[in-house]
Structure 1
Amino acid sequence: MPRSETPPMPSALLADANVATLNTKAQPRQKRAQETYELILGATAQLLAEVGIERLSTNLVCERAGISPPALYRYFPNKYALLGALGTRLMQEQNALVEVWATPATLVLDEAGLKASIYALYAQTLDLTRAMPEGLWVTRALRAVPTLAPIRIASHAHVAGLIVHAFMSAHPHAQINRVRTLARLSVEMVYAALEMLFDDPSQDEHATGEALAEMLARQVVLVRQTRSA
Protein backbone atom coordinates (compact mmCIF):
# COMPACT_ATOMS: atom_id res chain seq x y z
CA MET A 1 0.00 0.00 0.00
CA PRO A 2 1.39 3.47 -0.81
CA ARG A 3 2.56 5.26 2.29
CA SER A 4 0.16 7.93 3.58
CA GLU A 5 1.24 10.02 6.54
CA THR A 6 -1.34 11.23 9.01
CA PRO A 7 -0.87 14.96 9.70
CA PRO A 8 -0.17 16.00 13.31
CA MET A 9 -3.06 16.42 15.69
CA PRO A 10 -4.34 20.01 15.87
CA SER A 11 -3.62 20.05 19.61
CA ALA A 12 0.01 20.66 18.65
CA LEU A 13 -0.88 23.47 16.30
CA LEU A 14 -0.51 26.45 18.61
CA ALA A 15 3.12 25.58 19.12
CA ASP A 16 3.77 24.95 15.44
CA ALA A 17 1.81 27.69 13.71
CA ASN A 18 4.46 30.39 14.21
CA VAL A 19 1.67 32.89 14.83
CA ALA A 20 2.66 34.84 17.92
CA THR A 21 -0.82 36.16 18.62
CA LEU A 22 -2.14 32.61 19.11
CA ASN A 23 0.51 31.41 21.53
CA THR A 24 -0.66 31.02 25.10
CA LYS A 25 1.86 32.40 27.57
CA ALA A 26 1.66 29.53 30.04
CA GLN A 27 -0.07 26.22 30.51
CA PRO A 28 -1.76 25.79 33.91
CA ARG A 29 -0.31 23.03 36.07
CA GLN A 30 -1.81 23.51 39.50
CA LYS A 31 -5.48 22.81 40.14
CA ARG A 32 -6.28 26.42 40.95
CA ALA A 33 -4.51 27.63 37.81
CA GLN A 34 -6.41 25.09 35.73
CA GLU A 35 -9.67 26.32 37.22
CA THR A 36 -8.77 29.91 36.32
CA TYR A 37 -7.84 28.85 32.79
CA GLU A 38 -11.17 27.08 32.34
CA LEU A 39 -13.03 30.01 33.88
CA ILE A 40 -11.47 32.32 31.30
CA LEU A 41 -12.40 30.06 28.39
CA GLY A 42 -15.91 29.56 29.74
CA ALA A 43 -16.43 33.31 30.00
CA THR A 44 -15.08 33.75 26.47
CA ALA A 45 -17.50 31.14 25.13
CA GLN A 46 -20.46 32.81 26.82
CA LEU A 47 -19.52 36.25 25.54
CA LEU A 48 -18.97 35.00 22.01
CA ALA A 49 -22.53 33.69 21.95
CA GLU A 50 -23.78 37.04 23.29
CA VAL A 51 -21.71 39.72 21.55
CA GLY A 52 -19.94 38.02 18.62
CA ILE A 53 -16.34 38.20 17.43
CA GLU A 54 -15.96 41.93 16.80
CA ARG A 55 -17.22 43.08 20.20
CA LEU A 56 -15.36 40.42 22.16
CA SER A 57 -12.50 41.87 24.19
CA THR A 58 -10.19 40.76 26.96
CA ASN A 59 -11.71 43.42 29.22
CA LEU A 60 -15.17 41.93 28.75
CA VAL A 61 -13.80 38.46 29.45
CA CYS A 62 -12.12 39.67 32.65
CA GLU A 63 -15.33 41.33 33.79
CA ARG A 64 -17.41 38.22 33.08
CA ALA A 65 -14.89 35.87 34.70
CA GLY A 66 -14.38 38.13 37.70
CA ILE A 67 -10.61 38.26 37.34
CA SER A 68 -8.02 40.97 36.80
CA PRO A 69 -6.41 41.60 33.39
CA PRO A 70 -2.99 40.38 34.63
CA ALA A 71 -4.61 37.05 35.58
CA LEU A 72 -5.92 36.66 32.03
CA TYR A 73 -2.71 37.84 30.38
CA ARG A 74 -0.78 35.23 32.30
CA TYR A 75 -2.28 32.70 29.88
CA PHE A 76 -3.64 34.62 26.89
CA PRO A 77 -1.94 37.66 25.32
CA ASN A 78 -5.03 38.81 23.41
CA LYS A 79 -8.50 37.81 22.28
CA TYR A 80 -7.14 35.88 19.30
CA ALA A 81 -5.32 33.52 21.63
CA LEU A 82 -8.65 32.99 23.42
CA LEU A 83 -10.38 32.30 20.11
CA GLY A 84 -7.54 30.01 19.10
CA ALA A 85 -7.88 27.92 22.26
CA LEU A 86 -11.64 27.62 21.77
CA GLY A 87 -11.19 26.83 18.08
CA THR A 88 -8.71 24.07 18.83
CA ARG A 89 -11.09 22.54 21.37
CA LEU A 90 -14.04 22.66 19.00
CA MET A 91 -12.12 21.04 16.18
CA GLN A 92 -10.76 18.34 18.48
CA GLU A 93 -14.32 17.47 19.50
CA GLN A 94 -15.43 17.41 15.86
CA ASN A 95 -12.37 15.42 14.81
CA ALA A 96 -13.10 12.78 17.43
CA LEU A 97 -16.28 11.95 15.49
CA VAL A 98 -14.27 11.47 12.30
CA GLU A 99 -11.74 9.30 14.13
CA VAL A 100 -14.56 6.88 14.97
CA TRP A 101 -16.02 7.04 11.47
CA ALA A 102 -12.85 6.77 9.36
CA THR A 103 -12.26 3.02 9.36
CA PRO A 104 -11.73 0.46 6.59
CA ALA A 105 -15.08 -1.07 7.56
CA THR A 106 -16.85 2.19 6.73
CA LEU A 107 -15.09 2.57 3.40
CA VAL A 108 -16.08 -0.85 2.09
CA LEU A 109 -19.80 -0.16 2.52
CA ASP A 110 -21.94 -0.14 -0.60
CA GLU A 111 -23.09 3.21 -1.94
CA ALA A 112 -26.33 3.27 0.05
CA GLY A 113 -24.48 2.35 3.23
CA LEU A 114 -21.87 5.01 2.59
CA LYS A 115 -24.54 7.64 2.06
CA ALA A 116 -26.24 6.75 5.35
CA SER A 117 -22.92 6.72 7.19
CA ILE A 118 -21.80 10.09 5.79
CA TYR A 119 -25.17 11.62 6.61
CA ALA A 120 -24.91 10.35 10.19
CA LEU A 121 -21.43 11.89 10.57
CA TYR A 122 -22.68 15.21 9.17
CA ALA A 123 -25.66 15.22 11.57
CA GLN A 124 -23.47 14.34 14.57
CA THR A 125 -21.03 17.12 13.71
CA LEU A 126 -23.85 19.62 13.30
CA ASP A 127 -25.44 18.62 16.62
CA LEU A 128 -22.13 18.73 18.48
CA THR A 129 -21.26 22.18 17.13
CA ARG A 130 -24.68 23.59 17.99
CA ALA A 131 -24.52 22.12 21.49
CA MET A 132 -21.36 24.09 22.34
CA PRO A 133 -22.21 27.68 23.39
CA GLU A 134 -19.36 29.05 21.29
CA GLY A 135 -19.79 26.60 18.41
CA LEU A 136 -21.45 28.87 15.88
CA TRP A 137 -19.18 31.86 16.47
CA VAL A 138 -15.97 29.86 16.68
CA THR A 139 -16.88 28.16 13.41
CA ARG A 140 -17.30 31.59 11.83
CA ALA A 141 -14.11 32.90 13.41
CA LEU A 142 -12.03 30.00 12.12
CA ARG A 143 -13.07 30.94 8.59
CA ALA A 144 -13.21 34.73 8.88
CA VAL A 145 -10.18 35.62 11.03
CA PRO A 146 -6.90 35.13 9.10
CA THR A 147 -4.94 34.67 12.32
CA LEU A 148 -6.97 31.54 13.10
CA ALA A 149 -6.61 29.97 9.65
CA PRO A 150 -3.69 27.69 10.64
CA ILE A 151 -5.90 25.97 13.23
CA ARG A 152 -8.62 25.23 10.69
CA ILE A 153 -6.17 24.15 7.98
CA ALA A 154 -4.19 21.81 10.25
CA SER A 155 -7.36 20.28 11.66
CA HIS A 156 -8.81 19.63 8.22
CA ALA A 157 -5.51 18.17 7.03
CA HIS A 158 -5.45 15.88 10.06
CA VAL A 159 -8.91 14.40 9.51
CA ALA A 160 -8.30 14.13 5.76
CA GLY A 161 -5.20 12.11 6.63
CA LEU A 162 -7.30 9.78 8.78
CA ILE A 163 -9.68 9.22 5.88
CA VAL A 164 -6.82 8.57 3.46
CA HIS A 165 -5.29 6.02 5.82
CA ALA A 166 -8.59 4.16 6.25
CA PHE A 167 -9.35 4.32 2.51
CA MET A 168 -5.97 2.95 1.47
CA SER A 169 -6.17 0.21 4.10
CA ALA A 170 -9.48 -0.91 2.60
CA HIS A 171 -8.51 -0.32 -1.04
CA PRO A 172 -4.71 -0.55 -1.42
CA HIS A 173 -5.02 -0.59 -5.22
CA ALA A 174 -6.65 2.87 -5.41
CA GLN A 175 -4.82 5.88 -6.82
CA ILE A 176 -3.58 7.62 -3.70
CA ASN A 177 -3.54 11.10 -5.25
CA ARG A 178 -7.22 10.72 -6.09
CA VAL A 179 -7.90 9.48 -2.58
CA ARG A 180 -6.08 12.41 -1.00
CA THR A 181 -7.96 14.91 -3.13
CA LEU A 182 -11.33 13.34 -2.37
CA ALA A 183 -10.59 13.14 1.36
CA ARG A 184 -9.66 16.80 1.63
CA LEU A 185 -12.56 17.96 -0.54
CA SER A 186 -14.93 15.88 1.57
CA VAL A 187 -13.76 17.55 4.77
CA GLU A 188 -14.02 21.02 3.25
CA MET A 189 -17.51 20.31 1.88
CA VAL A 190 -18.84 19.14 5.24
CA TYR A 191 -17.59 22.27 7.00
CA ALA A 192 -18.84 24.50 4.19
CA ALA A 193 -22.27 22.94 4.63
CA LEU A 194 -22.22 23.65 8.37
CA GLU A 195 -21.19 27.26 7.78
CA MET A 196 -23.98 27.68 5.23
CA LEU A 197 -26.56 26.43 7.72
CA PHE A 198 -25.26 28.73 10.45
CA ASP A 199 -25.19 31.75 8.14
CA ASP A 200 -28.56 31.05 6.51
CA PRO A 201 -30.98 29.27 8.88
CA SER A 202 -33.60 29.16 6.13
CA GLN A 203 -31.69 26.31 4.49
CA ASP A 204 -33.06 22.81 5.03
CA GLU A 205 -30.46 20.94 7.07
CA HIS A 206 -31.88 17.51 6.18
CA ALA A 207 -31.88 18.25 2.44
CA THR A 208 -28.38 19.69 2.75
CA GLY A 209 -27.12 16.56 4.47
CA GLU A 210 -28.83 14.27 1.98
CA ALA A 211 -27.31 16.07 -1.01
CA LEU A 212 -23.88 16.17 0.61
CA ALA A 213 -23.92 12.49 1.55
CA GLU A 214 -25.14 11.45 -1.89
CA MET A 215 -22.39 13.38 -3.69
CA LEU A 216 -19.62 12.12 -1.44
CA ALA A 217 -20.79 8.50 -1.44
CA ARG A 218 -20.82 8.50 -5.25
CA GLN A 219 -17.29 9.87 -5.38
CA VAL A 220 -16.02 7.29 -2.90
CA VAL A 221 -17.43 4.52 -5.08
CA LEU A 222 -15.78 5.99 -8.17
CA VAL A 223 -12.38 6.55 -6.56
CA ARG A 224 -12.17 3.10 -5.02
CA GLN A 225 -12.54 1.67 -8.53
CA THR A 226 -9.32 3.37 -9.63
CA ARG A 227 -6.04 1.49 -9.91
CA SER A 228 -2.59 2.80 -9.06
CA ALA A 229 -0.03 2.71 -11.84
Structure 2
Amino acid sequence: MSLSDIQANPRNAPLKPALEPKRAPLQPRAVETYERILAACAELLGEVGIERLSTNLVCQRAGISPPALYQYFPNKYAILHELSLRLMQQQNRLLQPWAVPATMALPEAEFTHSMAALFLQMQQLTAEMPAGVWVTRAQRAVPALQPQRLRSREVLGEMVLAPFLVAHPRVDAARAQLTIRLAIDALYSAHELLFDEPALDPQAVAQTMAEMVAGQLARLCRAG
Protein backbone atom coordinates (compact mmCIF):
# COMPACT_ATOMS: atom_id res chain seq x y z
CA MET A 1 0.00 0.00 0.00
CA SER A 2 1.38 3.40 -0.96
CA LEU A 3 1.64 6.46 1.29
CA SER A 4 -1.13 8.16 -0.67
CA ASP A 5 -3.38 5.11 -0.09
CA ILE A 6 -2.71 5.26 3.66
CA GLN A 7 -3.43 9.00 3.79
CA ALA A 8 -6.68 8.50 1.88
CA ASN A 9 -7.58 5.55 4.09
CA PRO A 10 -6.42 6.57 7.58
CA ARG A 11 -8.23 3.82 9.48
CA ASN A 12 -6.57 1.19 7.29
CA ALA A 13 -9.89 -0.14 6.02
CA PRO A 14 -9.60 -2.74 3.24
CA LEU A 15 -9.25 -1.01 -0.09
CA LYS A 16 -11.70 -2.07 -2.79
CA PRO A 17 -9.99 -3.16 -6.00
CA ALA A 18 -10.59 -1.06 -9.09
CA LEU A 19 -13.12 -2.78 -11.36
CA GLU A 20 -13.40 -0.55 -14.41
CA PRO A 21 -11.19 -1.25 -17.43
CA LYS A 22 -8.41 1.29 -17.78
CA ARG A 23 -9.35 1.99 -21.38
CA ALA A 24 -11.49 0.55 -24.13
CA PRO A 25 -9.72 -1.06 -27.08
CA LEU A 26 -10.19 0.84 -30.33
CA GLN A 27 -7.92 -0.65 -32.96
CA PRO A 28 -8.54 -4.20 -34.28
CA ARG A 29 -5.30 -5.50 -32.74
CA ALA A 30 -6.21 -3.98 -29.38
CA VAL A 31 -9.69 -5.50 -29.53
CA GLU A 32 -8.16 -8.88 -30.30
CA THR A 33 -5.82 -8.60 -27.29
CA TYR A 34 -8.71 -7.50 -25.06
CA GLU A 35 -10.83 -10.47 -26.11
CA ARG A 36 -7.91 -12.87 -25.67
CA ILE A 37 -7.53 -11.67 -22.09
CA LEU A 38 -11.22 -12.30 -21.39
CA ALA A 39 -11.14 -15.70 -23.10
CA ALA A 40 -8.03 -16.75 -21.17
CA CYS A 41 -9.60 -15.69 -17.88
CA ALA A 42 -12.77 -17.63 -18.71
CA GLU A 43 -10.77 -20.78 -19.49
CA LEU A 44 -8.67 -20.52 -16.33
CA LEU A 45 -11.67 -19.99 -14.06
CA GLY A 46 -12.89 -23.47 -14.83
CA GLU A 47 -9.42 -24.96 -14.40
CA VAL A 48 -7.99 -23.28 -11.29
CA GLY A 49 -10.94 -21.55 -9.63
CA ILE A 50 -11.37 -18.01 -8.38
CA GLU A 51 -8.76 -17.98 -5.62
CA ARG A 52 -5.87 -19.34 -7.70
CA LEU A 53 -6.69 -17.18 -10.70
CA SER A 54 -4.05 -14.47 -11.25
CA THR A 55 -3.12 -11.93 -13.88
CA ASN A 56 0.17 -13.80 -14.44
CA LEU A 57 -1.73 -16.97 -15.30
CA VAL A 58 -4.03 -15.00 -17.61
CA CYS A 59 -1.01 -13.48 -19.37
CA GLN A 60 0.58 -16.90 -19.83
CA ARG A 61 -2.62 -18.38 -21.25
CA ALA A 62 -3.27 -15.39 -23.51
CA GLY A 63 0.34 -15.27 -24.71
CA ILE A 64 0.85 -11.64 -23.76
CA SER A 65 3.07 -9.70 -21.37
CA PRO A 66 1.78 -8.27 -18.05
CA PRO A 67 2.17 -4.67 -19.34
CA ALA A 68 -0.12 -5.57 -22.24
CA LEU A 69 -2.78 -6.80 -19.84
CA TYR A 70 -2.41 -3.83 -17.51
CA GLN A 71 -3.11 -1.46 -20.39
CA TYR A 72 -6.72 -2.59 -20.10
CA PHE A 73 -7.32 -4.18 -16.69
CA PRO A 74 -5.85 -3.12 -13.33
CA ASN A 75 -6.31 -6.55 -11.69
CA LYS A 76 -8.05 -9.92 -12.00
CA TYR A 77 -11.21 -8.55 -10.40
CA ALA A 78 -11.65 -6.08 -13.24
CA ILE A 79 -11.49 -8.97 -15.72
CA LEU A 80 -14.07 -10.90 -13.69
CA HIS A 81 -16.19 -7.75 -13.56
CA GLU A 82 -16.19 -7.48 -17.36
CA LEU A 83 -17.07 -11.17 -17.79
CA SER A 84 -19.84 -10.72 -15.23
CA LEU A 85 -21.23 -7.70 -17.07
CA ARG A 86 -21.33 -9.63 -20.33
CA LEU A 87 -23.18 -12.53 -18.72
CA MET A 88 -25.75 -10.22 -17.12
CA GLN A 89 -26.28 -8.36 -20.40
CA GLN A 90 -27.08 -11.65 -22.14
CA GLN A 91 -29.45 -12.63 -19.34
CA ASN A 92 -31.17 -9.24 -19.55
CA ARG A 93 -31.67 -9.65 -23.30
CA LEU A 94 -33.36 -12.97 -22.62
CA LEU A 95 -35.64 -11.40 -20.01
CA GLN A 96 -36.69 -8.31 -22.00
CA PRO A 97 -39.17 -9.93 -24.43
CA TRP A 98 -40.69 -11.89 -21.52
CA ALA A 99 -41.09 -8.93 -19.14
CA VAL A 100 -44.11 -7.33 -20.84
CA PRO A 101 -47.68 -6.64 -19.63
CA ALA A 102 -49.08 -9.51 -21.71
CA THR A 103 -46.94 -12.01 -19.80
CA MET A 104 -47.83 -10.48 -16.44
CA ALA A 105 -51.54 -10.72 -17.25
CA LEU A 106 -51.43 -14.47 -17.96
CA PRO A 107 -53.52 -16.79 -15.75
CA GLU A 108 -51.51 -18.32 -12.92
CA ALA A 109 -50.93 -21.70 -14.59
CA GLU A 110 -49.79 -20.12 -17.85
CA PHE A 111 -47.58 -17.62 -16.05
CA THR A 112 -45.99 -20.50 -14.12
CA HIS A 113 -45.26 -22.34 -17.35
CA SER A 114 -43.76 -19.24 -19.00
CA MET A 115 -41.57 -18.47 -16.00
CA ALA A 116 -40.28 -22.04 -15.78
CA ALA A 117 -39.43 -21.93 -19.48
CA LEU A 118 -37.59 -18.61 -19.04
CA PHE A 119 -35.65 -20.05 -16.11
CA LEU A 120 -34.50 -23.04 -18.14
CA GLN A 121 -33.45 -20.76 -21.01
CA MET A 122 -31.37 -18.65 -18.60
CA GLN A 123 -29.85 -21.80 -17.15
CA GLN A 124 -28.86 -23.03 -20.62
CA LEU A 125 -27.50 -19.63 -21.64
CA THR A 126 -25.31 -19.45 -18.53
CA ALA A 127 -24.07 -23.03 -18.90
CA GLU A 128 -23.15 -22.46 -22.56
CA MET A 129 -21.47 -19.07 -22.10
CA PRO A 130 -17.69 -19.36 -21.59
CA ALA A 131 -17.10 -19.59 -17.82
CA GLY A 132 -20.75 -18.70 -17.23
CA VAL A 133 -21.06 -21.05 -14.25
CA TRP A 134 -17.82 -19.82 -12.70
CA VAL A 135 -18.73 -16.19 -13.30
CA THR A 136 -22.03 -16.86 -11.52
CA ARG A 137 -20.10 -18.29 -8.58
CA ALA A 138 -17.69 -15.36 -8.63
CA GLN A 139 -20.59 -12.92 -8.37
CA ARG A 140 -21.62 -14.64 -5.16
CA ALA A 141 -18.16 -15.34 -3.70
CA VAL A 142 -16.07 -12.26 -4.54
CA PRO A 143 -16.85 -9.29 -2.25
CA ALA A 144 -15.71 -6.78 -4.87
CA LEU A 145 -18.45 -8.00 -7.22
CA GLN A 146 -21.29 -7.78 -4.69
CA PRO A 147 -22.39 -4.21 -5.57
CA GLN A 148 -22.63 -5.18 -9.22
CA ARG A 149 -24.56 -8.34 -8.34
CA LEU A 150 -27.05 -6.41 -6.20
CA ARG A 151 -27.47 -3.66 -8.79
CA SER A 152 -28.13 -6.24 -11.48
CA ARG A 153 -30.93 -7.75 -9.43
CA GLU A 154 -32.39 -4.31 -8.82
CA VAL A 155 -32.39 -3.67 -12.57
CA LEU A 156 -34.11 -7.00 -13.25
CA GLY A 157 -36.68 -6.20 -10.59
CA GLU A 158 -37.39 -2.85 -12.23
CA MET A 159 -37.73 -4.55 -15.64
CA VAL A 160 -40.42 -6.88 -14.25
CA LEU A 161 -42.17 -4.41 -11.93
CA ALA A 162 -43.09 -1.85 -14.59
CA PRO A 163 -45.07 -4.23 -16.84
CA PHE A 164 -46.54 -5.99 -13.80
CA LEU A 165 -48.05 -2.70 -12.58
CA VAL A 166 -49.40 -2.01 -16.07
CA ALA A 167 -51.10 -5.40 -16.09
CA HIS A 168 -52.31 -5.09 -12.48
CA PRO A 169 -52.77 -1.39 -11.72
CA ARG A 170 -54.77 -1.99 -8.53
CA VAL A 171 -52.07 -3.84 -6.61
CA ASP A 172 -50.05 -2.10 -3.92
CA ALA A 173 -46.92 -0.90 -5.74
CA ALA A 174 -44.61 -1.14 -2.72
CA ARG A 175 -45.73 -4.70 -1.96
CA ALA A 176 -45.37 -5.62 -5.63
CA GLN A 177 -41.84 -4.24 -5.69
CA LEU A 178 -40.85 -6.28 -2.64
CA THR A 179 -42.49 -9.45 -3.96
CA ILE A 180 -40.79 -9.16 -7.34
CA ARG A 181 -37.44 -8.40 -5.72
CA LEU A 182 -37.77 -11.57 -3.65
CA ALA A 183 -38.86 -13.46 -6.78
CA ILE A 184 -35.66 -12.38 -8.56
CA ASP A 185 -33.63 -13.68 -5.63
CA ALA A 186 -35.58 -16.97 -5.72
CA LEU A 187 -34.84 -17.34 -9.42
CA TYR A 188 -31.11 -16.80 -8.93
CA SER A 189 -31.00 -19.05 -5.87
CA ALA A 190 -32.55 -21.85 -7.91
CA HIS A 191 -30.18 -21.00 -10.75
CA GLU A 192 -27.13 -21.38 -8.48
CA LEU A 193 -28.56 -24.46 -6.79
CA LEU A 194 -28.54 -26.37 -10.06
CA PHE A 195 -24.90 -25.50 -10.65
CA ASP A 196 -23.93 -26.48 -7.11
CA GLU A 197 -25.99 -29.70 -7.15
CA PRO A 198 -26.04 -30.94 -10.76
CA ALA A 199 -27.82 -34.18 -9.76
CA LEU A 200 -31.04 -32.21 -9.27
CA ASP A 201 -33.67 -32.30 -12.02
CA PRO A 202 -33.68 -28.87 -13.78
CA GLN A 203 -37.31 -29.29 -14.86
CA ALA A 204 -38.43 -29.99 -11.29
CA VAL A 205 -36.44 -27.08 -9.89
CA ALA A 206 -37.79 -24.73 -12.56
CA GLN A 207 -41.40 -25.82 -12.01
CA THR A 208 -41.21 -25.60 -8.21
CA MET A 209 -39.55 -22.19 -8.24
CA ALA A 210 -42.06 -20.87 -10.82
CA GLU A 211 -45.03 -22.18 -8.84
CA MET A 212 -43.78 -20.44 -5.69
CA VAL A 213 -43.34 -17.11 -7.46
CA ALA A 214 -46.56 -17.31 -9.49
CA GLY A 215 -48.57 -18.26 -6.43
CA GLN A 216 -47.29 -15.32 -4.42
CA LEU A 217 -47.93 -12.89 -7.28
CA ALA A 218 -51.44 -14.29 -7.71
CA ARG A 219 -52.16 -13.75 -4.01
CA LEU A 220 -50.88 -10.21 -4.32
CA CYS A 221 -53.23 -9.55 -7.24
CA ARG A 222 -56.21 -10.99 -5.38
CA ALA A 223 -55.42 -8.79 -2.38
CA GLY A 224 -55.20 -5.73 -4.62
Please give the residue correspondences for 1:25-40 in structure 2 after superposition, counting only pairs within 5 Å: 25-40=22-37
Q: Deviations over 1:27-78 (max 9, x none)?
A: 1122221111111101111111221111111011111111110010011111
Cα distance in structure 2, aligned partners of 1:23 and 1:139: 19
Q: Which aligned segments of 4 or more residues in structure 1 are displaced greater than 4 angstroms? A: none
Q: Is the 8 Å Cα contact of residues 55 and 76 (structure 2) preserved in structure 1?
A: yes
Higher radius of gyration, 1 or 2 = 2
Please give the residue correspondences for 1:65-214 in structure 2 after superposition, counting only pairs within 5 Å: 65-214=62-211
SS of alignment partner, residue 225 of structure 1: helix
TM-score (ref. length: structure 1): 0.88
Cα distance in structure 2, aligned partners of 1:225 and 1:68: 61
Q: Deviations over 1:141-173 (max 9, x none)?
A: 100111000111111100100111010111111
TM-score (ref. length: structure 2): 0.90
SS of alignment partner, residue 105 of structure 1: helix
Q: Is the 8 Å Cα contact of residues 157 and 180 (structure 2) preserved in structure 1?
A: yes
Which amino acid in 1 is paired with 2:86? R
Which amino acid in 2 is paired with 1:124? Q
Residue of structure 2 equivalent to 1:49: 46
Corresponding position: 1:60 with 2:57: yes
Aligned-pair RMSD on alpha carbons? 1.3
Cα distance in structure 2, aligned partners of 1:145 and 1:199: 16
Greater mean alpha carbon deviation, residues 91-100 or residues 106-115: 91-100
Q: Is the 8 Å Cα contact of residues 37 and 75 (structure 1) preserved in structure 2?
A: yes
Q: Deviations over 1:95-133 (max 9, x none)?
A: 111111110000010011001000011000000000012
Cα distance in structure 2, aligned partners of 1:184 and 1:98: 15
Cα distance in structure 1, aligned partners of 2:20 and 2:186: 29
Cα distance in structure 1, aligned partners of 2:215 and 2:94: 22
Cα distance in structure 2, aligned partners of 1:184 and 1:42: 32
SS of alignment partner, residue 21 of structure 1: coil
Q: Is the 8 Å Cα contact of residues 17 and 77 (structure 2) preserved in structure 1?
A: no
Specify which of 215, 219, 224 is matched with residue 221 of structure 2: 224
Cα distance in structure 2, aligned partners of 1:220 and 1:31: 49
Q: Is the 8 Å Cα contact of residues 99 and 159 (structure 1) preserved in structure 2?
A: no
SS of alignment partner, residue 202 of structure 1: coil
Which amino acid in 2 is paired with 1:191? Y
How far off its partner does 1:20 sit? 4.5
Residue of structure 2 equivalent to 1:21: 18
Greater mean alpha carbon deviation, residues 116-125 or residues 20-29: 20-29
Q: Is the 8 Å Cα contact of residues 49 and 133 (structure 1) preserved in structure 2?
A: no
